Chain A
Amino acid sequence: MTTANNLVQGLLLGGLYAMFATGLSLMFGVMRLVNLAHGDFAILAAFLALVIVDGTGLNPFLTLAVAVPAMFLLGYLLQRGVLNFTVGGDGLAPVLVTFGLSIILQNLLLEGFSADSRGLDAGAIEDTSLALGRLNVGWFPLLTLATGAAVLGGLQLLLARTRLGRELRATSDDPEAAQLVGVDHRHAFAVATGLALATVAIAGIFLGVRTTFSPALGPTRLIFAFEAVIIGGLGSLWGTLAGGMVLGVAQTLGAQISPGWGVLTGHLVFLAVLAFRPSGLFGKPVTT
Chain B
Amino acid sequence: MSDGRPLLEVAGLDGWYGDFQALFGVSVSVAAGEVVAIIGANGAGKSTLLRTVAGLLPRTDGSVTFEGKDLAGVPAHRRVALGISLVPEGRRIFPSLSVEENLLVGAQAGRPGPWTVAAVLELFPMLAGRRRSGGGRLSGGEQQALAIGRGLMANPRLLLLDEVSLGLAPIVVRRVYEALPAIRAAGTTVVVIEQDIGQALRAADRVYCLLEGRVALEGAPEDLDRDRIAAAYFGVRA
Q: Provide the A155-180 mask, 1 if CB < 8 A to any CB of B, else 0.
A: 00000000100110110111011111
Contact stretch, chosen from B31-39, B97-105, B177-185, B203-211? B97-105
Contact A166 B105 (CB under 8 A): yes
Name A173's contact: one of B77, B80, B96, B154 (CB within 8 Å): B96
Contact A169 B97 (CB under 8 A): yes
Q: Provide the B44-81 mask, 1 if CB < 8 A to any CB of A, else 0.
A: 00000000001110000000000000000001111011
Report the minimal beta-carbon distance from B120 to chain A, rounded to whole angstroms: 13
Given A181-B108, A182-B77, A184-B75, are A169 and B96 neighbors across the interface (CB < 8 Å)?
A: yes
Name B104's contact: one of A166, A184, A185 (CB within 8 Å): A166
Contact A181 B56 (CB under 8 A): no
Name B77's contact: one of A163, A172, A184 (CB within 8 Å): A184
Collect the chain A residues with CB atoms within 8 Å of residue B76's CB. Answer: 179-180
Contact B56 A179 (CB under 8 A): yes
> How far is B136's CA from A169's CA once the two chains are assembled, in angstroms?
13
Number of A-B contacts (CB under 8 A): 71
> How far is B97's CA from A174's CA once the two chains are assembled, in angstroms?
11
Task: Give the size category of B's interface with A.
Answer: 20 to 34
Contact A181 B97 (CB under 8 A): no
Contact A183 B108 (CB under 8 A): yes
Can you name the residue of chain B whose Cβ is closest to the Cβ of A159?
Answer: B96
Contact A166 B101 (CB under 8 A): yes
> How far is B101's CA from A172's CA once the two chains are assembled, in angstroms?
14
> How far is B95's CA from A174's CA once the two chains are assembled, in angstroms?
9
Q: Is B150 in contact with chain A by the CB < 8 A criterion?
A: yes
Collect the chain A residues with CB atoms within 8 Å of residue B77's CB. Answer: 178-179, 182-185
Contact A167 B105 (CB under 8 A): yes
Can you name the residue of chain A whose Cβ is closest to the Cβ of B54?
Answer: A180
Q: Which of B187-238 contact A (CB under 8 A)?
A: none
Given A166-B101, A166-B105, A170-B105, are A179 and B94 neighbors across the interface (CB < 8 Å)?
A: no
Given A166-B104, A166-B105, A180-B80, are A172 and B56 neighbors across the interface (CB < 8 Å)?
A: no
Q: Is B5 in contact with chain A by the CB < 8 A criterion?
A: no
Contact A166 B92 (CB under 8 A): no
Contact A181 B96 (CB under 8 A): no
Collect the chain B residues with CB atoms within 8 Å of residue A174's CB. Answer: 92, 94
**Most A CB within 10 A of own CB, among B54, B56, B97, B108:** B108
B residues lining the A interface (CB < 8 Å): 54-56, 75-78, 80-81, 85-86, 88, 92, 94-97, 101, 104-106, 108-110, 150-151, 153-154
A residues lining the B interface (CB < 8 Å): 163, 166-167, 169-170, 172-174, 176-185
Kindly list 13 other residue pairs between chains A and B, CB separation below 8 angstroms, not including A176-B56, A176-B92, A180-B92.
A163-B104, A166-B105, A169-B97, A180-B76, A181-B85, A181-B105, A181-B109, A181-B153, A182-B80, A182-B81, A182-B110, A183-B108, A184-B77
12 A-B pairs (CB sep. < 8 Å)? A166-B105, A169-B94, A176-B92, A177-B88, A179-B56, A179-B75, A179-B76, A179-B77, A180-B92, A181-B105, A182-B110, A184-B75
**A-B pairs with lowest CB-CB distance, top 4:** A182-B109, A182-B80, A177-B92, A179-B76
